[in-house]
Amino acid sequence: MTHFDYRDGELFAEDVPLSRIAEAVGTPVYVYSETALTDAYRRFAGALAEAGLDARVCYAMKANSNLAVVRALAACGAGADVVSGGELARALAAGVNPAEIVFSGVGKTGDEMRQAIAASIGQFNIESIPELERLSEVANATGATVNVAVRVNPDVDADTHHKISTGRHHDKFGIDIDRAREVYDRAAALPGIAPVAVAVHIGSQLTDLSPFRAAFTRVAALVHELRADGHDITTLDLGGGLGIDYGQQSPPDPRDYAAIVADTVGDLGCTLVFEPGRYLAGPAGVLLTEIIYVKDGETRSFAIVDAAMNDLVRPAMYDAHHEVLAVRQPNPDRAPHSYDIVGPVCETGDTFATQRDLPVLEAGELVVIRDAGAYGAVMASGYNSRLLIAEVLVRGSGFSVVRARQDIAAMLAQETLADWQT
C-alpha cells in the first residue's frame, strides 16, 4: 500500500485525484500522503517495540523539514534529529518535545549551541574535540549541564553511494572509534558536559543490513570498554540510514533491522535512539509535474516537464533512480513509448529519468516522480531564478497547501541594489 494508486483510470494520492491538486495548486508541486508518513512511522517504531527494544525515534528532519510533515510525525510520538538552528526552530514550531530532540552535525556554531541549550534539548551528538570544548564553554557559561553523545566512526563501508556514505575512516564524520575512550575521558573532565551516550551513523540508503551489524557490534564493544573506564553510558544513538525501494532495490524490512539491533546491542540496558529520515518521508511524497512539450529527436523522445533539477536534485547529484508514472492510467492494450523525462534547466544533468516506458504522452499531461518525499523539497534551490515550488499534504479526501509557491515579488524582494547603484 503506497497511498499513491490508480483508481478510475487515474493516479490518486490517498482519496484525492492528483489532477485535482494540479488544478487547484498548479505544478510542479510536491504532494505528501500523511497516512504514508504515519504508517511508515508505525512500521518502524512497531518493529523496534516488537523486538523488545526500549527505543526512541527521532525523525531526521533534514530529509523533509516541512512543518506539517514534522507535525504529523510528532503527533505519532516522534522526536527530532536536527542539524542546524533552523531545523531546531522548525522542530519546536511543529510541536516536537524538546527533550526528544537530538542535535547532530559536524559544525554546530556557538550560537546554535546556545539556542539548543535555551530550548532544553535532550542530547548533543558531538563529532570532534574542538566541538566538545566549545560546547563545554557555552554550557558552562549558562550554568547548564548537557547530555552528550560522541559520534564514533566505526570504519564500516555502508556500501551505498559514495556521497552518502559516512562511516569510513576517511569520511569527515565522527571520531575514530579507536580514539573514543580518550575522548570520553576528556569529556568527563569538562564542565557542563555529561557524556552519557554513544552515537553512530554510517550512511544513507542502506539496502544491505550487514554494515549495520558490523557497526553496532563495534559500538557494543565500545560501550563495555567505556563502562569499564567508569563512564555511565545510558543511551545509544544508532542513527538512520535504512534504505527504501526506489524501484530497483529490495529494501530491508524494519523487522530484520530491529532483529540485528536486538542481537548486537539489545542486552546493554541502554535506551536506544534511532534517526530515520528517508525511510519515513521518502515513499510518502511524489513530485507532480506537467509536460510542457514532447520533443521527438532522432533517436529519443523527450518529455520536457515543468519540474527541474533545482526542485529535485537527487538524479543529478546522486545518479538516483526514481520511478516515473503517468497520472492517466496506462491502457494495457496500447504499446508504451520510451521517453527521457527532462526539465527546462540549461544543464544536461537536468534529467529525471532516461528511456522509460510510458503511455504515449502529450503536452499538458501530468506525470509524477515517485519516492520524492525525502531529500526533495529540502534540497531545492532557486537556480535559473525558478521559484520554490508548493508543497501539499493529503489526508484521506482532503488536502492542504503546507508551503505556498514562492512568487516573483518575494524572490525580488530578497535582493537590493548596492547603496551606490540606486
Ligand X SMILES: *Cc1c(COP(=O)(O)O)cnc(C)c1O
Going residue by residue from 353 to 392, which x/- string records binding to ligand X, judged by CB under 6 A? ---------------------x------------------
The smaller minimum CB distance to ligand X, of residues 193 and 242, is found at: 242
Give the binding range for ligand X (CB under 6 A) out of 11-19, 29-37, 56-64, 226-234: 56-64
In this chain, which of 204, 235, 264, 289 binds ligand X, going by CB under 6 A? 204
Scanning 202-350, the segments in alpha helix (DSSP H) are 210-228, 254-265, 278-281, 314-318
Minimal distance, residue 62 CB to ligand X, in Å: 6
CB 151 within 8 A of CB 179: no
CB of 420 to ligand X, least distance (A): 43
Per-residue CA distances from 232 to 200, 216, 228, 401, 419 (Å):
18, 19, 9, 47, 58
Q: Which residues pair with 340 in a beta bridge?
A: 302
Contact 277, 20 (CB under 8 A): no
> How far is Cα 54 from Cα 59, in angstroms, rounded to an integer?
16
Total residues found in the chain within this entry: 422
Nearer to ligand X (CB atom), residue 163 or residue 300 = 163
Does position 60 bind ligand X by CB under 6 A?
Answer: yes
User: Scanning residues 321 to 340, which ones bind ligand X (CB under 6 A)?
Assistant: none
Q: Which is nearer to ligand X, 242 or 366 (CB)?
A: 242
- CB-facing half-sphere around the CA of 17: CA atoms within 13 A: 12
How many amino acids of this chain bind ligand X (CB under 6 A)? 17
Contact 116, 96 (CB under 8 A): no
Given the rule CB under 6 A, which of 71-79, 175-183, 227-235, 276-284 is the region that contacts ligand X?
276-284
> Can residue 160 be called a binding residue for ligand X (CB under 6 A)?
no
Stretch of 1-9, 57-65, 305-313, 342-350 contacting ligand X, by CB under 6 A: 57-65
Sign of CA dihedral 9, 3, 239, 372: positive
User: Binding to ligand X by residue 62, rule CB under 6 A?
Assistant: yes
Residue 76 designated active-site = no
Of these, 122, 241, 252, 283, which contacts ligand X (CB under 6 A)?
241
Q: Which grid coordinates belong to 30?
A: 510536491
Indicate the SS3 state at residue 128. coil
Q: Of 227, 225, 220, which Cα lies nearest the Cα of 200?
A: 220
Q: What does the per-residue mask of binding to ligand X show for 84-103, with x meaning CB under 6 A? A: --------------------
- Which part of the chain contacts ligand X (CB under 6 A), choosing from 44-52, 177-185, 219-227, 238-246? 238-246
Residue in 163, 169, 178 with CA at minimum distance from that of residue 219? 178
Task: Indicate the SS3 state at residue 106.
Answer: coil
Which triple of cell numbers denotes residue 134? Answer: 566549545
Contact status: 123 vs ligand X (CB under 6 A): no
Q: Which is nearer to ligand X, 27 or 66 (CB)?
A: 66
Rounded to the nearest whole angstrom, what is the least distance from the CB of residue 165 to ligand X in the complex?
11
Give the three-class secondary structure for 342: strand
CB of 151 to ligand X, least distance (A): 7
Q: Is residue 127 involved in binding ligand X (CB under 6 A)?
A: no
**Using CA atoms, how far apart are residues 337 and 361, in angstroms rounded to an integer?**
8
Cell (9 digits) for 407: 512568487
Whichever of 25 and 88 has its CB closer to ligand X, that residue is 88
Instruction: At 44, give phi and psi (nearest 5°).
Output: -70, -55
Applying CB under 6 A, among 201, 218, 356, 386 the residue interacting with ligand X is: 201
- Taking alpha carbons only, the member of 164, 135, 170 closest to residue 149 is 135
The sign of the dihedral angle between the CA atoms of 186, 191, 196, 198 is: negative
- In this chain, which stretch among 39-47, 55-63, 92-100, 342-350 interacts with ligand X, using CB under 6 A? 55-63
Q: What is the DSSP letter of 44?
A: H
Residue from 85, 254, 266, 277 that binds ligand X (CB under 6 A)? 277
Integer Cα distance of 96 and 225 in angstroms: 34
Piece of the chain touching ligand X by CB under 6 A; list 1-9, 34-42, 60-68, 381-389: 60-68
Identity of the residue, 56 or 201, whose beta carbon is nearer to ligand X in the bound complex? 201
Q: Which of 58, 76, 270, 346 is catalytic?
A: 346
Pairing of strands 79-82, 101-103: parallel
Smallest separation, CB 202 to ligand X (Å)? 10
User: Among residues 55, 63, 148, 156, which is the contact residue for ligand X, using CB under 6 A?
Assistant: 63
| Contacting positions for ligand X (CB under 6 A) | 60, 62-63, 81, 104, 201, 204, 239-242, 275-279, 374
Question: What are the catalytic residues?
Answer: 346
